[in-house]
Amino acid sequence: MTDPTLLLRLNALLDRPQEYLVYSGGEGGEYISHRIGQYSSKYRHGGATKLNYNAQTNRSLVVYPEIYQHIVNRLPFDVGDRTALVDMLVSAGVVTDQNLSHAEEFFDLSGVPLFRMHRVAAEHFQQHPTHFLITFGLWRAYARVLTVIKVRGTLDQFLEHVLVRWNLDLEGDHSVDEVRDYMTLQGLTETSFMVYRALIIKKLATSLGVAETFALTAGDLYHDYFDQVFPEAQSVFMNYVSHAGRYGGRLLDLSRVVNEPRYLADQFDIEDFQGFHQGIVAWHHANLDLMLAHGFTEFETLRIG
């Protein structure tokens, strides 16, 4: 049985002022939320978080204290009410004195933390303001291509993601064991999540063999498979509008984030908007260079200057 004092501290932590930045894959939610935390006078979490950066893919991964790392990365999106949320955290073994102390110190240093998430279905996320990155037209395609290129991981990470977080069925043309055996034989430790989806989730079956699927280029994965299964931007946008209207928060247009130096500065208490925006533009141009290296030339019109 968990010490009642720990549960009181956990609930007090979950009630503290905190906000969320929700985004779809490829939209830069990790990088943008961390940069806000570096420059904002209100959201001061940049110095309290750890940022892992992969220069090869221009990908940022923000690391929070363990309790919130579990909340934003590991819990099912449909976790439900506060009781269910607390029970899952307890069952996961993350509600310890050390983890709570670390999280409490993080909040003390952070002002109002701005945590990044991919969805906000649980009751907890209706309690706190949520901001939504949105993309349209060519910018929607920009984000999707970056998802294909950047989002990589191990087979076990993929399985946890689809089975626990998304509750999807593995009914593709190839079994998990086939995929694992092939990766072991080839000495592969990770690959694009789109490869895994194409092989072992039914609605993205490639009708190709395992070796042929692993050989697909980013362009093949994007043009032939990605757009078949992911929701249209309009439906995602309407969900964001509905949530923001009911529970508070803002819709943030990624094209304006990149092109307008004061756009986020005015909304997130950023005084040095020029320094803040220089980093956003550099991140964006690194994305364009990455896409160009993978044969995607259609996004060069988005380059600034």
Check: CB of residue 43 under 8 Å from CB of residue 37. yes
- pLDDT tens digits for 233-292? 567 778 888 888 888 889 999 999 999 999 999 899 999 999 999 999 999 999 999 999
What's residue 234's pLDDT? 63
Pairing of strands 114-117, 19-22: parallel
Query: DSSP state, 113?
Result: -
User: Which among 230, 273, 234, 289 is positioned nearest to 39, based on CA atoms?
Assistant: 273
Q: What is the pLDDT of residues 258-274, one digit of tens each?
A: 999 999 998 999 999 99
Here the tokens at position 277 are: 């925006």
Rounded Cα distance between 125 and 123, Å, is 5
pLDDT at 232: 60
Question: What pLDDT does 229 receive?
Answer: 58
User: d(Cα 274, Cα 271) in Å, to the nearest integer?
Assistant: 9
Q: Is 80 exposed, middle or buried (0-12, 13-18, 19+ CB in 10 A)?
A: middle
| Predicted local confidence at residue 104, as pLDDT | 98
Distance (Å, whole) CA 148 – CA 217: 10
How many residues in total does the chain contain? Answer: 305
- The confidence score (pLDDT) of residue 205 equals 72
88: tokens are 């899952």
Phi and psi angles of residue 279, each rounded to the nearest 5 degrees, phi first: -65, -40
pLDDT of amino acid 305: 79
Q: Tell me what pLDDT residue 228 has.
A: 62
Indicate the burial class of 192 (C-beta count within 10 angstroms; 0-12, 13-18, 19 or more). buried
Low-confidence residues of the chain: pLDDT under 50:
none
